Structure 1
Amino acid sequence: MNVNSKDRINKIEEVQAKEQFSGTFYAISNGDKLTGSYGYANRAEKIKNQINTRFGIASGCKIFTSIAICQLIEKGKINFDTKLKECLSFEFPYFDEEITIHHLLTHTSGIPDYFDEDVMDDFEELWESMPMYNLRRLQDFLPLFQNEKMTTELGTFHYNNSGYILLGLIVEEVSGLVFSDYIQQFIFKKASMTDSGYFEMDDLPGRVALGYIKKPDGGWRTNIYSLPVKSSSDGGAYVTAEDMISFWDALMNARLLTKEMTQTLLTPRVQVKDDIYYGYGGYMQTNSEHVEKYILMGYDPGVNFRSVHYPNRNLTIVVCSNKSDGAYEMIKTIEASY
């Protein structure tokens, strides 16, 4: 459906009013931009969200980890068939010895997920045994899963955060850099993502939206006690909507990887359901001929993120929210208007 900008804004306003969406959206199609912001980055201080507000994007940043791995593969340091036991010196007594980087990237390793949504409903349950303020390095996550048994067979898709913690540790081991420093230097800088970073929740820079969780009495509390204190290789980086537009442009124009490796990153690998597949860099919707759109998504308490890129329509949309919901409804409305 094609509509003019005024009609688009009217439809977006309707969704915002219904969902009480708090966040920012940015759409670009053949050079034409559509942007907007709603709600508060800081409710107590009445600081409104703006187009340059930085939002947490939860698992939406797993693709940065994937690209880092692909960059190291391009340098000949590792390959997709390199086994986990060949990459890391940490002990994993119950893990299948045949687990490879390919399995970790595609969520088919079968290792235990430290936050398995099929088992736990509440992310905050994790911090009863492991205080979130202790999770400042990637290796701090290991006690949550390294001594647990495999949960699915090797090769079976089961969305897995632990696998991306291990991929981040591989980046550190192979590159010799702290994971967040590697991403800053080799992805954010190259993609001109000048406002993005892996921040600590007790040491946030300016223009960061606090994440908000609704309380039973209808009020709001921040998510500072709900998430690991520092964003990590499985989720939690902070970006602006505009930075994510820059990211898609850099990725699709081979400024982060070679054209060949970019295609490898974005090729469907594992069928998740129907026409939805997972590659090395995220979800994608396909038809019988090609990939229709690439999909990034992230959810944490007080965080909701969605982004899509249509390669054959030159359309990119980013929606960042500092509440636990609303991004999906917003992005579907914007998608339907193009």
Structure 2
Amino acid sequence: MDFFNSALGKNITFVRPAYFIISGFIGIPYIKYIYVFLFFVYLVSVLGNTVVMAVIYLDHNLRTPKYVAVFNLAFVDLCGSSALVPKLLDIFLLNHPYIPYNDCLAFLFFCYTCLSMQSFNLVTLSYDRLIAIIFPLHYQVKVTHRFMLSLIASFWVFVIIVVLIAVGLLTRLSFCKSVVINSYFCDHGQIYKLACNDTTPNSVITVLLPLLILWLPLTFILFSYSYIGYALSKVATVQERVKAFKTCTAHLSLVTIYFLPIIITFTMSSKIDPNARIINLALTSVFPPMLNPIIYVLQTREIKESVKKILKIRKKSQITVKK
């Protein structure tokens, strides 16, 4: 972090607080009901994503490049929920709003990394659907296990580097105004506004982060489905179009659930009450990890058949043991 700290100059004394105070949900009426709801959402998210990961791992027929991406999405959803919700409940439900400086930066890093990887996982799945529909004869050659693993690994590296830069830029700040963060977690935008020295680099990264982790992936996804729609319009029969489109319904549902609430919240932020905005962003962070596994289990034929097969094998083994 010396690189970031040197930007302040040698003659400036750092003022780093021992802790920050997270005040996002404080003062919101009936907030305990939201805590109970968030706890329920977290349990469903952990159970659902664990089931999806277990099914893909146990069924060798699902070890295809597409389900490598689905497995990674479930893993990221599980990590993201576990990084955010337990700490959120500890802060507000158990009344521990004080969070040490270094813990706050670590909290920020894990939350931002997992939320960003959700976005890039959707890019990976959209690329898979694009190649499967536009170049079906070349799918086995273009989308291999090695390619999919390399693509996912490159996204991980990119996201970690970007988030580390955002965290590193916070370490160069001197805090002399306040230690109260008006958010439900250690939000980069809320933290740097508390600093009393130059925050220009932080302002720049605050603009770049949404462009890199939200708008750029969304642009690629929209372009992919525009191209898919154009290609399907050239298909001779309606049945072939419907059959091809059905393979995209699960992914389109995930894209809508992830991007639509975020876009609405950010575009209407000036018209939304600050407390309502905090609640909306909190729910936006925890809902996709809960709904993603449910959507894939209900809308994906391969996973449904795999779950039935695993349950059937388990039932047979139990009958055999009893006999």
TM-score interval for Structure 1 and Structure 2 normalised by the shorter chain? under 0.3
Q: Who wins on radius of gyration, i.e. which is larger?
A: 2
TM-score (norm 1): 0.26
Larger fraction in strand: 1
Larger fraction in helix: 2
TM-score (norm 2): 0.27
